[in-house]
Structure 1
Amino acid sequence: MRKKIGAAVVGLAVAGVSLLATGSASSHGYTDSPISRQKLCANGTVTNCGNIQWEPQSVEGPKGFPAAGPADGKICSGGLGQFAQLDDPRGGAWPTTKVSSGQSYNFRWQFTARHATTDFKYYITKNGWNSNAPLTRAALDSQPFLTVPYNNQQPPATLSHSGTLPSKSGRHLILAVWTIADTGNAFYACSDVQF
């Protein structure tokens, strides 16, 4: 009888550890409109992406951007070395989404784990930024062009919200930041766009 109880306890412990491991690996979210670099890697449009192709939802780093958060040059990867391919500008060769200045745009997130949310913020690169260098804070306009408060609510599996794109021309990068309310982290997604 003791052997059966011991085996059952070990089995439950293994199942619990497996469940915890799977729960963290299946987290959390990314943008697919405009399409993010991680989604381009996951759907096979861009190759040589490393592990991000299997985990587009996992670009999670410290929150508090721009005062805190991932270091300059590591913003698109959320500061995670295993996703460093997202920081590589690839000579400006990332595919772009066509957008128009001053127009309303529908931003969309896909979530694999829903968290209580502080807000969503969208930043864009300055005119004249260097698209051949990894993203830095100095390359971004200092204020987000769109902030969507979310009042500690959990988003649905897919969330869309509209905002007006700023007046820009040429190639730019939009940084989307999803700030989690009940952890010290946020999720980062970089999308290359062409005005």
Structure 2
Amino acid sequence: MRRKSLGIGVLLTSVLGLTFVSTGTAQAHGYTQNPPSRAYLCKLGTVKNCGSIQWEPQSVEGPKGFPARGPADGKICAANHSEFAQLDDPRGGNWPATKLTSGASFEFGWTLTAAHATTSFRYFVTKNGWNPAAPLTRAQLEPAPFLTVPFNGRQPSNNVRHSGTIPAGKSGRHLILAVWDIADTANAFYSCDDVTF
């Protein structure tokens, strides 16, 4: 009887251990810090009522291949994750926005909680006249990224910085969509950054 109890205990410990390991690896990825993403603003507590994204801003991972594939329109900021739907809520166009200068250089920054082999980092911006009070769609974005940083399968450091030039001719409120394309999986990480020019 004691041997049977011991066997069940070992089995339960193994199952719980595997569950913990699986959960731990799922929480490691990345988010933009400069400009601060919606997920990062939730983590900081700058924005309230964010749901579970406040504890895992690094987990906005979805299918890669944007804009031809990837998250559905209206679900881009949460990368199709219903549990992160607060990121797709435009909040009446009132997310805190970082001030940028149109046509100026800017250093973009990511915090990676676990680095992956990387294809590239890409940055898209909304078109002039887009509606900041509506969920983000492809039609609201310029069709091509204004900055692409190729990585050719290399693994970045945990603090990634790249300088680029903000598109000229932008004014008022906009959104920058940062996409981190992973080389060795079918996924990418998506980060929505509210800005004002």
Aligned residue in 2 for 1:179: 181
Structure 1 residue ranges without an equivalent (≥5): none
TM-score normalised by the chain length of structure 1: 0.94
The amino acid of 1:27's aligned partner reads: A
Structure 1 position 143, deviation (Å): 0.4
Aligned match of 1:116: 117
Q: Tell me which residue corresponds to 2:36.
A: 35
SS across alignment from 2:58: coil
1:142-181 to 2 correspondence within 5 Å? 142-167=143-168, 168-181=170-183
TM-score scaled by length of structure 2: 0.93
**1:129-159 deviation line (CA, Å, top 9, x unaligned):** 1111110000000100000001111111111
CA distance in 1, matches of 2:84, 2:18: 28
Cα distance between partner residues in 1 of 2:16 and 2:132: 47
Percent of aligned positions that are identical: 60
Secondary structure at 2:124's aligned position in 1?
A: strand
Aligned equivalents of 2:56, 2:106: Cα separation in 1: 26
Q: Count matched residues.
A: 194
SS of alignment partner, residue 123 of structure 2: strand
* C-alpha spacing 1:28/1:2, structure 2 compared with 1 (3 Å): same
Structure 1 segments of 4+ aligned residues over 4 angstroms from their partners = 1-10
Alignment correspondent of 1:63: 64
1:1-195 paired onto structure 2 within 5 Å: 7-8=9-10, 10-24=12-26, 26-167=27-168, 168-195=170-197
CA gap 1:16/1:140 in 2 versus in 1, 3 angstroms: same
Amino acid at match of 1:154: Q
1 CA distance for matches of 2:192 and 2:23? 27
What is the SS of the residue equivalent to 1:19?
Answer: helix
Paired residue secondary structure (1:153): coil
Unpaired segments ≥5 residues, structure 2: none
Q: Deviation string for 1:13-52 (max 9, x for gaps)?
A: 432331122211x221000100000001110000011111
